[in-house]
Amino acid sequence: MVIYEDLAETIKSGKWRPNTKLPSENELVAHYETSRETIRKALNLLSQNGYIQKMKGKGSFVLDVSRFDFPISGLVSFKEVAEKLGHDSKTIVEELELIKPNEEIRTRLNISHKDSVWKVIRSREINGERIILDKDFFNRKYVSHLTRDICEGSIYEYLEKEVGLKISFAKKEISVDELTEEDHRYLDLKEYDHVVVVRNYVYLEDASLFQYTESRHRLDKFRFVEFARRGV
């Protein structure tokens, strides 16, 4: 939605300070030359995403977004986050192969032993330390082709732009697990004896499960931020 983007951009740019009042819905209707429902849909999105607070009888007010820094919320990829933070980051493709899934992966991807699966293991280096280990498993039915080159960049970008897959939603699970032999091999662990594990089940537009990802973070470098509205 173009109106949402426009308003969000104005707020993010700081042109409207926190706690100031937005133009009223009727004023926005006049400004964008559209209907009130359309304006309201844009404002509701802003509200959901923590940009504004709407108050009946009073108006809509800008929230202090600067405090909601660096959301790993949603489905943003490592590359996007690293770029946003301006960190020196590097991706190392440790393993890339087409496998017959074992039982764990079959269960997680909800497939049979006849299917084959792309297995990608990448470590992520930030400021010279390997602190994240990403293990991706793609159902081959949806991803026929994968190369080292692609894995070194953003797989998501490739899948969305080149393959044309439409990623729709995901279920995320965060927990803390004990170290595996792989963690030892591919991460600079220091003295820590656990990792934070983010498990992600990713679905396409037609609700088919096409990817399972395990993102293993060194304890001290993990951070997750979320904005949540009550009741929704």
Binding site for DNA (CB under 7 A): 1, 22, 24-27, 33-38, 40-41, 43, 54-60
Given the complex with DNA, which of 2 and 149 has the nearer CB atom? Answer: 2
User: What gap in Å lies between CA 162 and CA 229, rounded to an integer?
Assistant: 36
Residue 24 binds which one of a second copy, DNA, none, with CB within 5 to 8 A depending on kind? DNA
Given the complex with a second copy, which of 97 and 205 has the nearer CB atom? Answer: 205
* SS3 state at 49: coil
Distances, alpha carbon 188 to alpha carbons 19, 87, 123, in Å: 44, 18, 10
What is the contact surface with a second copy in residues (CB under 8 A)?
19, 37, 45, 48-50, 53, 55, 61, 63, 67-68, 73-75, 167-176, 192, 194, 196, 201, 205-207, 219-220, 222-232
Residue 148 binds which one of a second copy, DNA, none, with CB within 5 to 8 A depending on kind? none
190: DSSP letter: T
Residue 183's closest CA among 92, 121, 111, 102? 121
Residue 157's closest CA among 12, 170, 149? 149
User: What gap in Å lies between CA 81 and CA 71, rounded to an integer?
Assistant: 8
Least separation in angstroms between residue 151's CB and a second copy is: 21
Distances, alpha carbon 160 to alpha carbons 7, 156, 163, 177, in Å: 26, 6, 6, 31
Residue 60 binds which one of DNA, a second copy, none, with CB within 5 to 8 A depending on kind? DNA
Residue 27 binds which one of DNA, a second copy, none, with CB within 5 to 8 A depending on kind? DNA
Paired tokens of 85: 């933070």
Paired tokens of 209: 């499960």
Given the complex with a second copy, which of 149 and 191 has the nearer CB atom? Answer: 191
Least separation in angstroms between residue 109's CB and a second copy is: 13
Residue 70 binds which one of a second copy, DNA, none, with CB within 5 to 8 A depending on kind? none
C-alpha 209: how far from chain center = 16
Least separation in angstroms between residue 103's CB and a second copy is: 18
